[in-house]
Structure formats: C-alpha cells, structure tokens
Structure 1
Amino acid sequence: MTLIGQEITVLGGGIGGLAAARALAMRGARVRLLEQAAEIGEVGAGIQVSPNAGRVLAALGLEMAFEEISIASQGAVLRDYAEGAEVLRLDLTRFGRFGLVHRADLVAMLAVAAREAGVEIELGARVGEVSLDGGQAELRLENGEQREAPFLVAADGLHSRARPALLGSERPHFTGHVAWRALIPLVPGEVPAQAQVFMGPGRHLVAYPLRGGRLLNLVGVHERTAWQAEGWNHAGDPAEFRAIFTRFGGPVCGWLERVEAVHVWGLFRHEVARRWYGDNVAILGDAAHPTLPFLAQGACMALEDGWVLAACLSQGEGRGAALARYEALRAPRCRRIVDAGTANARNYHLGGPLSRTVAHLGLRVIGKALPGFMPDRFGWLYAHDVTA
C-alpha cells in the first residue's frame, strides 16, 4: 500500500506518537495527532537516548537538532552507594552517541518537526474511549464529541484507551519498587557528562546532567511492599526522598539537600502486548510494551516503533501484511529489552553485604582485565539500526 493521501490519526503527543506522526507524514500520509494536554509544555525530567534511538532521529532528519538540545554522554559509571566508590566504568560510546536530554526539550523538538512535515496537532483532545468494532476506529472524547479514524496509531502510553479495546482488560502487578525523580540546579561542569548509578541494598540512584550541565536529573528506586500509584507525575515529599537515601555517601548527600520538589510513582510490570494491531489500529510505545526504567529504553523503543511502523506501512504490501510485519519485527526485540530491564533491577539491588561485596569485586576485576567485556554484552541493544 502507499501512504500518499492516506488519512491516519495518531493518538498521543509524546515521543513515540510525534516520531511516528513525522515518519508517516514524510511518506505522504495525511496525519492528525490528538494530544490530551492543553499545551506541549515542561513535563517530565531527563531521559537517555542511546545510539539505537539516535539513528531514528537521524533518519527523521533531526540529528543536528537533537545534538543542540542534548548532552553527549561519556558513558556510564556504576558506583557503590556508601562512599560513591567506582565499581565499573562502561565506555558505551563505541556504539555511537548517547544523548542526555530533558524529555520536554525532546518532545518540543519533535512537535516542531511533526508540524514541519505537515502533521496537524490538536491539543486538549482527551479521548475517553476507543471502539474498534466497525471498519473505522471510533473515538469518544471526554467532552462527548465523537470522532472516526480510518486508521489509528495509538501511542497513548501506560493508560492506553486503545490497548484494552484491542486486547481486552489486563491487570498489571506491582513489582515492589517505587521510583522517585527530581531535578536540581547545577553549575555547568560541576558533574561529568555521564550517567552515574549508585547501587545500594534494596535501592539505587541514577544521576546525570541536562541542559548544558545546568540541571542534574536524579532518579531513585527503592523496594517496599506498599504500592504507590502508577504514573510518573505524582508529587512526593522531598524529606521522605532524602530519608530513603540517607545512607548514600559521596556526592549524593549534597545533591539530596538541594532537592526542593520530587515526584514519586509505583513500578508495575505489564506484559508485552500479545497482539500489536487490528484491522484499523496499531499500538506502539508504552501502549504496546511498558517497561521498567532500569535499562533507559522506554523512549528509545517508542522511537524505534514509530519508524518501523511507518516503514512497514509504506512498503507496498496490503495493510494487514504490513502490520503483521511490524509486529514480527518489533515484538521479539521489545520483549528482550523489557526482560533485560527487569533483570537490571536485581543487579542494582544486591541485598546482603557479602553478596554485594563479592559482586562488586567481580565487576572491578572484569573491568580492569577485560574492559570491553561488559560493554560488548549490550551490542545487541545499542548497535541495532531499525532504519537500515
């Protein structure tokens, strides 16, 4: 099938939805994007865009624009929580550029790029229900308005309206992890351009700079039995955040003292969707494969999804064959990424002092004797190129 002149509605104005909208419009589709927020504004915190996703941005014609809004990371450093001592340094730059960026800056860049490609973005369009029973997708907005979409691309996140319409109701389960995020001001150059992971018993903290080194992004995760609401925009108590990580040494104590606002959310495990498409819909990003944040691939997978979906739909096959190909290309890779992210939670939270000491000693030995061994284990992830 050709996309020239095809009418496509994209649901969700996040990273995946905007990238998919531009990719579809670049191939000739007439794209309308519905976003529930009244404006594309200052939402979220930092994200890491690894080379596999950077290749998508380059294919979208946005490589230079992305470099202007992001910091090139020197790699990742794993540290022990007590004093911040280095355990393992991972030089991942062999796979390409890792960009550290504020989510709001990336979304704003993609919104401009989508509009430049001809995408019509409608803000304040809150969809309450999606029906897929007819030949078209039917959308009921919360204001009572009804819309029809000949074909719907649902990039509407964790609380997707399209996924249950496609697959029925599902019940995620609480992982026993609660995450916190905060931003604090920095003096440029105060913190190196790298991701630092401080690993402690039952908890860890990730830190990296944003916006030319003027902000530090902090994400802390700890284990507890009581669940917290899912999502990532619930206000938390800075004093509680500091108390949870009070035993962390090195620079962490100083950073925590500067936290004035923090957000908190529970981490829930969702299954990767057993089916990614129907006759009149395709899902992508968190709507298809919500992931835990321990591998920093949520936004990256969404960028890959958007490119692959547009490429499959434009390759001359019928829509059914194109969508089957999209799912076949994406589902196995996303399952592997989701599983690897889940495994990282265990790696960061070694509980007993003996097991932690032994594990950290082993990582130090490997890092010195075989510096390329640990980075090479991620080649399947970061060297992948969906645009090839």
Structure 2
Amino acid sequence: MSAPIVIAGAGIGGLTAALAVAQAGRRVHLIERAAKIEEVGAGFQIAPNAGRALARLGLEEALAAVALEPQGINVRRGRDGAVLARLDVSDVRAQWGAPFRVFHRADLQQVLLQAALGHPQIEIRTGTRLGEFEDRDGVIRLRAHGPEGVEEIVAAGLVGADGQRSAVRAHLLPTERDAPVYSGRTAWRALIPTELAPPELRARESHLWLLPGAHVVHYPLRDGSIINVVVIVSEPPRHTEGAAILALDGPELARHLRRQQPAEMLAALIEAGASFRHWPLFARPPLKRWSRGGVTLLGDAAHPMMPFLAQGAAQAIEDAEALGLAFRQLGASVERTFAAYEAKRIGRAAKIVRASWRQGEYFHLSGLAASARDLTIRALGGRGMLARNAWLYR
C-alpha cells in the first residue's frame, strides 16, 4: 500500500484538501490537534469562485441545505445609513457558475467533515498534534502525538493546512521575522437573533457600512433566523495584549464606536448583541515559496489575509482544488506535484492578499478622501462594483 499524504489541520482548507487529494486517488491521513472537529467563530461568505470548486467536489446538494443566498449587498455610508450602491447578486450563478452564499462556519465544516468521513481513502485522527518531521530521500517521517502516545508515520508528502500560526510553516521558516504581526485592526464578532434587529435590517441581504477608521459587515444565517455581525475597527497594538478585553456586550461596543458616529439604525443593531468576541487581525510576510521537497502549505498557513474581500476561506478552497488537480496530473512525484500546485496558486493568492489589505484602507477612509470614495461608489453603482471585482469570481 502506498504511503499516504498527511494533511495537518482539519479546518475548511484541510478538509477540502483531503477530499480533493483523495478524489485524485491518493490515500490521506488528516490529523487535527483538537479532540473534536468543530468550528469556532460565526458566519462567513463563500463567493462564486470557491462555490464552483466545492460543487466540483460533489457537495452542491449538501451546501444548498445549510447555506443562505443573499439577494443583494448594500454598501452604506455609516454615519447616516444612506445606500451608496446595491449589488444585485440574485442571478450571479448564470454569470459565474455559482451563487454568493453565507454559512455558519460550523455548518460548512460539518458538510466537509461528513464527506471526508464517508470517503474510503481518508483517515481522520483527532486529538493528534504534529511533532517533528523530516524529509529525506523523498519520504516524510513524522511524529504524531495522539491520545495513545507518539506514533511514527511514514508519508509520501505533508501539507500544512494548520492555520495562520502553522507549525509546518514554522518548521520550514524558523525565523522571528516570519512571526505574525498585528495589523492594527480588530474584529468584534457576534450572532444576533433576527427579531432583535431593526426591522429594516432583517431582509435576506448583506450590508457593508463604511465609517472613519471602522466598518461593519452583517448578513443573515440559518434560514434568516440569526444575523452575523462583524465590527472592524482600527485599534492600537495594546488591544492585542493578554490583559485586553476579550468580549463586550452590544451597548459597550456601541459606546466604543461613539467617536465614529454610527447611524442610529446601525447603533441599534450593535446594541442588540449580547456578546461581541474580540479577534485581533494578524498578518504575516508574503512567501516566495510555499513548498520544500515533499512539504507544502495551504490556506492561512501559506497566505493569511485580511478579511476585507471575504476571500480567506475561498482561497483555501481554491488551493485545495488546485492541489487535487496537480495530483491528478503529476501524482507519481509528490515533489513535482507540490511545485506545480505552488506555481498555479502563489501569484493569485499574493495578489488577493495585497488587494485585501488595500480594501481595508479604502473602507476606513475619513474626511475628504471618504467623501470622494462615496461619490465613486455611487457613480459605479451595483453593476460597476460587481464588475470591478469580477477578477476574483470568474
């Protein structure tokens, strides 16, 4: 029996990669440090580029059962609630082959997990931490620290899908200069029962509010029963220290935003939140290479990005599909497969990392620059805004 491909990390990227590699005919051992595979966090968006990839893995029916498809995206001026542009996304499937969808993270992860558990080529080990490993003569020898002790695994290749603070990346790049760096922005996240939201914000649509030094994104989940709210603010580094407040209730967060003067309707939505969790946003230096021999990186381990284009999970899914395709074409040599995968993905991922960072700067403008931005958005309109981002979705 051939040696497996070991994938470290059972998040969205790791599970999708396991499915893609297994469908390409390779055995996969997926190892996850947590004792139980369950997603933390709240909602997130899957744009058409990632939706197509998931559908090609045979997941369309399962995705439709747990997703919500917003009918529009409203870009609003944050201080008075004026709609600068409305993006009609009700018919983008015809244009880009998949809809815009929003998910509770746990729901999408369970779809992927159930598909992986049902695949005969995939073995999943939870409560298992990746230890030391070495790549010698085309064979990966690694130690897996599990509930029953340390196990030696001989693998054909290792994929680090273990997140922004990747242990695999740390092994490949053991330098302090590669450490995560606070971006200067923090996300505050909460799920709010829809009946507590202002009536004007209960429709099956997404909203983006632009404020000086901040922005807010919210959209409905789980058949419209809850609303995922994310408030992103520019904050000094002290907010990332261990003594920082880890949660605020809605009224406290609304007071925290008073300087930005949010519209009454937006403030009311935030005040309805029972608890907003504090998520500092970190960046890492871009990599010139993701792979070395029989070891490669995927998703946030390779290219962590700011969430301002809603492409973090989408790019991990694109990585996974590209990895599976490379195995179909070049599967006899893992080193060549990883090199081809990297060559296919590294340029596009780096471009989206840069664009996501710029988008955050654009969202947080103030004064005359913000007024000029708002005029530009009005001039573009919904169709123009979609066209401007078509390079992401097609």
TM-score (norm 1): 0.90
Report 1:101-180 matches (<5 A).
101-118=103-120, 119-127=122-130, 129-134=131-136, 135-141=139-145, 145-150=150-155, 151-169=157-175, 170-180=178-188
Consecutive unaligned residues in structure 1, runs of 5 or more: 384-388
Aligned counterparts of 1:114 and 1:249: Cα–Cα separation in 2: 45
Between structures 1 and 2, the one with greater helix share:
2
Q: What letter matches 1:106 in structure 2?
A: L
Residue in structure 1 matched with residue 216 of structure 2 by the alignment: 205
Partner of 1:53: 50
Deviation by residue 1:269-321 (Cα, 9 ceiling, x = unmatched) = 21232221122212100000000010111100111111111110221353222
Identity of matched residues, %: 37
Given residue 253 of structure 2, which amino acid in structure 1 is its aligned partner? F
Q: In the alignment, which residue of structure 2 is the partner of 1:327?
A: 342
What is the CA distance between 1:146 and its match in structure 2?
4.2
Task: Tell me the alpha carbon deviations over residues 323-365 of structure 1, each in whole angstroms, 9 at most, x when there is no partner.
Answer: 111111100000111111001111111122x332232123213
The aligned counterpart of 2:192 is 184
Q: Which moved more, 1:307-316 or 1:213-222?
A: 307-316
**In 2: Cα distance, 1:207 partner to 1:342 partner:** 20
What secondary structure sits across from 1:72 in the alignment? coil
| Kept after mapping to 1: 8 A contact 2:216/2:229 | yes
Mean CA deviation greater in 311-320 or 49-58 = 311-320
Determine the C-alpha separation between the residues in 2 that align with 1:240 and 1:226: 20
1:378 corresponding residue in structure 2:
389
8 Å contact 1:35–1:123 — kept in the other structure? yes
Q: Partner letter of residue 185 of structure 1? A: P
Q: What is the CA–CA distance in structure 1 between the aligned matches of 2:305 and 2:385, rounded to whole Å? A: 22
Is contact 1:132-1:165 (8 Å) kept?
A: no
Query: C-alpha root-mean-square deviation of aligned residues, in Å?
Result: 2.3
CA contact (8 A) 1:73 1:195 kept: yes
In structure 1, what is the Cα distance between the partners aligned to 2:141 and 2:240?
30
2:63 to 63, 66, 74: 66
Amino acid corresponding to residue 68 of structure 1 in structure 2: A
Alignment partner of 1:341 out of 336, 339, 356:
356
Residues 114-133 of structure 1: CA distance to partner in whole angstroms, max 9, x if unpaired? 11112221111133x34335
| TM-score normalised by L of structure 2 | 0.88
Contact 2:5–2:28 (CA under 8 A) maintained in structure 1: yes
Residues 22-80 of structure 1 show CA distances to partners (whole Å, capped at 9, x for unaligned) of 11122222212111122123521101000000011111100111011001122322101
Q: Please give the residue correspondences for 1:1-388 in structure 2 after superposition, counting only pairs within 5 Å.
A: 5-41=2-38, 43-92=40-89, 93=92, 94-95=95-96, 96-118=98-120, 119-127=122-130, 129-134=131-136, 135-141=139-145, 145-150=150-155, 151-169=157-175, 170-187=178-195, 191-229=202-240, 235-238=246-249, 239-246=251-258, 247-316=261-330, 318-352=333-367, 354-367=368-381, 371-383=382-394
Determine the C-alpha separation between the residues in 1 that align with 2:287 and 2:241. 18
